[in-house]
Amino acid sequence: GSSYRGAVGIFMRVLKMGLVLVLWVFALSARAELTFPALSGRVVDDAQMIEPSVRAQLNQQLQAHEQATGEQLVVVTLPNLQGTTIEDFGVQLGRHWAIGQKDKNNGALLIVARDERKLRIEVGYGLEDRLTDAQTSVIIHQVITPAFKTGNFSKGISDGVAAMLVVLGGNPLDEPSTVYESNGDPSDDFISRHPGLFVFLLMLFILAVFVFQMLGILPAGRGGGGGGGGFGGGGFGGGGGGGGGGGFSGGGGSFGGGGSSGGW
């Protein structure tokens, strides 16, 4: 009868919308793959922003810290972000290099993107209890950025690494009463850090609406459905072993998007 045909019509609409959404999500995740620099050491100055003497000093500091604690910290400067956000690039780079020990995920990256004038501290799962979002935000905005604004990148990076080591040593920095990144909007931070979860929740919401319509709980509407707005957020890149070079390589650690970003 007509009710059966109506149910079939609703089902086909659900199927069609679901297929379009799935294809769209795959298209997002299948965008051009990022090209990562080789993990040539604990300081990868791909954008040539750090003075050679400071590079050598940082290498010694980070090596000594790793030998004492097992925690891997890497500094990387990039010419550009290849069209993505520093949050997306950071979590993908951390996973690609596999910084930190596999069973502890105790790695962190200090990332500087020259052309976009962005920087980020990317924190592995195992260090998020000390290198919190608030602590990394203080390091970026109060320690690194002031030096960057005067063009002294070597000082900013050196001071930033020193502050990270102090915090990891159990001495947190003073925090403002409220610390948010993304220009003070915590919702922006959540979406940039968890794009996969955001996509999943959106798909779940759309599916729930259609199911309720099929059950007659919500009106299906007539004359065509209205379209929802688009949303941003890229996928997380794959893991894999870290590249070797200079006797240094990642230990199999992983990242989940913890940390803070800033600019100068």
Alpha-carbon span 166 to 40, nearest angstrom? 25
Determine how many CB atoms are found less than 10 A away from the CB of residue 262: 19
Report long-range pairs for 61-67 (Cβ below 8 Å, ≥24 apart): 61/161, 61/162, 61/165, 62/161, 65/165, 65/168, 66/42
Alpha-carbon span 75 to 248, nearest angstrom? 13
Residue 176: predicted pLDDT:
73
Residue 44: predicted pLDDT:
97
For residue 125, give both structure tokens: 């799962």
Residue 236: predicted pLDDT:
25
Which pLDDT band holds residue 206 (cuts at 50, 70, 90)?
A: confident
pLDDT in tens, 36-66: 999 999 999 999 999 999 999 999 999 999 9
- Residue of higher predicted confidence among 256 and 242: 256
Domain boundaries, given as residue ranges, for the chain: 43-185+236-263
Determine how many CB atoms are found less than 10 A away from the CB of residue 251: 21
Residue with tokens 């957020």: 233
Which pLDDT band holds residue 165 (cuts at 50, 70, 90)?
A: very high
Q: What's the rounded mean pLDDT across residues 14-23?
A: 61
State how beta strands 255-263 and 43-45 pair: unpaired
Strand order in the sheet with 43-45: 43-45, 72-78, 107-113, 118-124, 255-263
Q: What's the rounded mean pLDDT across residues 216-235?
A: 38
> Which has the minimum average pLDDT: 106-120, 133-147, 222-236?
222-236
Q: What's the rounded mean pLDDT across residues 224-242?
A: 31
> Which has the minimum average pLDDT: 10-19, 102-111, 203-212?
10-19
- Options 3.40.50.10330, 3.40.50.1820, 3.40.228.10, 3.10.310.50; CATH for 43-185+236-263 is 3.10.310.50
> Which has the minimum average pLDDT: 69-78, 220-229, 230-239?
230-239
pLDDT in tens, 142-160: 999 999 999 999 999 999 9
